[in-house]
Structure 1
């Protein structure tokens, strides 16, 4: 009995039931964050967040308890935080894969941050900080869901879009394109052209036609209106948004 009590009181010992509880808790908490990202159709969704949280929890368990047999060995120094620090660095590279840049518009930063904080939640569960991990999960869900709705309501920000227009090469048409963008509430940041003689020009260009690339800052709600306005101009054959 004394031997069993000594084992249980050993800070380097953890039972199989405790391991199971922590791994399942990490999967549930990571899944809650991933579910919100999946519902919003982001690159990193349900399975990604579960895997990140579960893997981080396992790494923390391994870091604390996986080398318990070597604790009392001479010239051996056990550092429970070493693998945890490596997890944070590794997840940073994973989160960077969700960040995309289109022109001056950068997307995926929030998803990258959610992957990073999910890894931190997994580390917390692995270390036995259930309360901190659960509260952090609730705060993350509040930030991702509630604050997102508040942000969209208070700050209707414009994002940059690339619009490709196939037009006839005629005088005055470029000014009409600019005016159409302004009428839709957009800001024309840059305009560039390609004709049929350019090597990178679209194959659909015909004689005396141009491909016009419009870099426009625009509200999402005005995208369809702008495309319809561009397509309705005389001399415009096609307009698409990328």
Structure 2
């Protein structure tokens, strides 16, 4: 196995792929940063670049047609989901950060799609994610939710973030 990419054109292709993943994630990160969310202008591009990088490495090591590619994607989906889980907070009866978590997950998919040269899918996921974040704010206000201030949903009783009530006796 070689430690260095075999050709300059291949290295340039890798660099271009990583740059495309970065650029497609930037608007999503900008939106989250502008809204003062827990993840923003640094986190989203890093998730996309890392996801793209893992896919590029897997292709170089395993080959494009390898069944191991499914395991790489499985690991990415789980890993990025774990990062997104860190953005979700429970405050009393409200849960916040769900849109940020879902956006992080989508951004991981953008990076993976770019890594596999599926640019149409990457562009669509990036655009739909960004537009959903930007255009849903007025709808949230109309629906009577907290609008621009909090990505929130009512907490589910006994959900993953539920804590047992202290014993009073």
Normalising by structure 1, we get a TM-score of 0.54
Aligned residue in 2 for 1:93: 82
The equivalent residue for 1:63 is 58
**Rounded Cα–Cα distance in structure 1 between residues aligned with 2:77 and 2:109:** 8
What stretches of structure 1 move > 3 A for 4+ residues in a row?
Answer: none
Give the structure with the larger strand fraction: 1
Unaligned runs of 5+ in 2: 1-5, 148-169
1:166-191 deviations in whole A, cap 9, x for unaligned? xxxxxxxxxxxxxxxxxxxxxxxxxx
CA contact (8 A) 1:100 1:108 kept: yes
Q: Secondary structure at the match of 1:59?
A: helix
Q: State the structure with bigger RCO (CA 8 A, min sep 6), 1 or 2.
A: 2
Q: Decide whether the 8 Å contact of 1:25 with 1:125 is kept in 2.
A: yes
The 5-angstrom pairing of residues 77-156 of structure 1 reads 79-152=68-141, 154-156=142-144
Q: Which has the larger radius of gyration?
A: 1
Tell me which residue corresponds to 2:166: none
Cα shift readout 1:59-83 (whole Å, capped 9, x = no counterpart)? 1111122234xx9xxxxx6522221
Aligned residues: 140
Please, what is the CA RMSD of the aligned residues?
Answer: 2.3
Equivalent pair of 1:23/1:57 in contact (CA under 8 Å): yes
Q: CA deviation at 1:158?
A: 6.1
SS state of the match for residue 106, structure 1? strand
